[in-house]
């Protein structure tokens, strides 16, 4: 063997990066070859058919692709919850219009000032009556915030079984529950929904756990999928929707029974007369036992813990 061939030459590896020579398809057809080619190419590149499928919003929004949209609407949140080890949740619902006591009081004072200059304005009188009722319920903001703190603080005791506060992500009483968990440094989840009138998430949700859903159905599924309890403060149509759907699923044994706590017995007994429904024969007496009432954050939390202890599966 020739002495200079004793050692093979090192393999010449390609250097990562741009090519020194462009590939044929990287160069558009020149106008010199066909004067109309650039305009034709521009039209092709801007056509809907040329858009990549997963980047074509118009294509993805077609009725025929609803099943696909349902899947991704569910899976995006599911993946993030798994990655953040959110296994157990305490779901809190309540009115978006019930704000902090200070804010509610300022609304009352502002309307009183407006009425001083327009004492005969019936519209202002009605708005003041409503504002005063909201102010009377504003103490629930503090209750929801304190409840969020209790759940958030329990993670030290529960460890891998820790419960995470989950809300609809909006203002009012949902904000209060997220805020209480935030106060303790715990994770806190918000499931927002895409609406015609844009909804801003409250600022106390863990950024990586704030989701915006297209479909109410997928949002509702996530509310119940990991729920260890449902805590329902006074609210409107949205609050009632989530409450009654949950009660129906538990009544029919479609899902396992879990604690359902209605906060504010006076409000709920006026808004929802369960004894009337029993007397009318449209539900059974045992259906009354699907929920109970509480007034304070401590009572809410302790009643949930007691329910699990009585049923032989401690929550913490």
Stated pTM of the model: 0.87
pLDDT reading at 137 higher than 90: yes
Q: Is the pLDDT of residue 33 over 60?
A: yes
Q: What pLDDT score does 12 carry? A: 62
CA gap 293, 232 in Å, rounded? 10
Long-range Cβ contact pairs of 68-73 (< 8 A, separation 24 or more): 69/214, 69/215, 70/215, 70/217, 70/218, 73/213, 73/214, 73/215, 73/218
Q: What is the tens place of the pLDDT at every residue in 209-253?
A: 999 999 999 999 999 999 999 999 999 999 999 999 999 999 999
How deeply is 60 buried, as exposed, middle or buried, from its count of CB atoms within 10 A (0-12, 13-18, 19+)? middle
Residue 128 in this model has a pLDDT that exceeds 60 = yes
Rounded average pLDDT over 89-100: 97
CA distance 205 to 177: 10
**CA distances (Å), origin 150, targets 117, 157, 254, 305, 312:** 46, 11, 30, 12, 22
């Amino acid at each position: 063997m020739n002495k200079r061939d004793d050692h093979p030459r090192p393999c010449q590896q390609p250097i990562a990066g741009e090519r020194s020579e462009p590939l044929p398809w990287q160069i558009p057809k020149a106008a010199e070859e066909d004067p109309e080619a650039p305009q034709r190419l521009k039209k092709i590149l801007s056509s809907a058919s040329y858009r990549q499928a997963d980047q074509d919003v118009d294509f993805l929004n077609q009725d025929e692709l609803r099943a696909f949209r349902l899947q991704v609407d569910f899976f995006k949140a599911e993946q993030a919850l798994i990655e953040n080890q959110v296994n157990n949740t305490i779901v809190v619902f309540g009115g978006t219009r019930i704000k902090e006591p200070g804010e509610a009081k300022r609304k009352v004072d502002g309307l009183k000032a407006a009425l001083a200059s327009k004492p005969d304005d019936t519209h202002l009188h009605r708005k003041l009556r409503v504002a005063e009722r909201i102010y009377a319920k504003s103490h629930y903001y503090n209750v929801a915030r304190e409840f969020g703190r209790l759940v958030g603080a329990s993670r030290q005791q529960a460890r891998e079984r820790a419960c995470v506060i989950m809300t609809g992500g909006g203002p009012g009483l949902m904000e209060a529950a997220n805020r209480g968990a935030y106060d303790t440094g715990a994770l806190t989840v918000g499931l927002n929904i895409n609406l015609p009138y844009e909804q801003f998430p409250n600022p106390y949700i863990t950024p990586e756990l704030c989701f915006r859903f297209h479909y109410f159905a997928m949002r509702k599924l996530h509310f119940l999928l990991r729920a260890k309890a449902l805590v329902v403060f006074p609210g409107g149509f949205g609050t009632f929707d989530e409450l009654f759907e949950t009660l129906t699923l538990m009544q029919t044994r479609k899902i396992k029974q879990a604690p359902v706590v209605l906060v504010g017995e006076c409000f709920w007994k006026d808004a929802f007369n369960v004894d009337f429904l029993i007397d009318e024969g449209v539900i059974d007496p045992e259906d009354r036992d699907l929920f109970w009432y509480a007034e304070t954050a401590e009572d809410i939390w302790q009643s949930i813990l007691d329910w699990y202890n009585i049923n032989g599966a401690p929550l913490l």
